[in-house]
């Protein structure tokens, strides 16, 4: 059974499993991680570990945003092409 990824497991795990992490979950974890580091109570090694995990989270989140942006570009292009096709059909039918 997989452990749910929370701040504690994020900080103590050797290998991060981020592929099934939603954008919202990742952003929440990143916010918690930043707050923990900003407290200033972590030993230097733990703070560096947290920083590394934060960088990994940021890269994962950026990848998700880039993927969403690409999907939007495709959908906009498809929508633009569909609406052009619709206008052409309406013009042919004399409905335009």
Per-residue pLDDT tens digits for 68-87: 999 999 888 888 777 665 55
Tens of pLDDT along 25-57?
999 999 999 999 999 999 999 999 999 999 999
Q: What is the DSSP string of 1-34?
A: -PPP--HHHHHH-SS---TT--HHHHHHHHHHHH
Domain ranges of the chain: 21-92
Nearest CA to 53 out of 3, 87, 5, 92 is that of: 5
Task: Report the pLDDT value the prediction gives residue 93, as an integer from 0 to 100.
Answer: 55
Say if CB 79 and CB 37 are below 8 A apart: no
Structure tokens at 70: 């690409």
C-alpha 96/C-alpha 90 separation (Å) is 5
- pTM for the structure as a whole: 0.72
């Amino acid at each position: 059974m997989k452990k749910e990824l929370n701040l504690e497991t994020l900080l103590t795990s050797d290998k991060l499993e981020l592929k099934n992490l939603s954008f919202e979950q990742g952003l929440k974890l990143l916010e918690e991680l930043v707050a923990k580091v900003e407290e200033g109570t972590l030993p230097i090694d733990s703070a560096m570990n947290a920083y590394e995990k934060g960088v990994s989270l940021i890269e994962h989140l950026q990848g998700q945003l880039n993927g969403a942006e690409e999907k939007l570009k495709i959908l906009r292009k498809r929508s633009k092409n569909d609406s052009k096709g619709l206008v052409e059909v309406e013009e042919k039918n004399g409905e335009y």
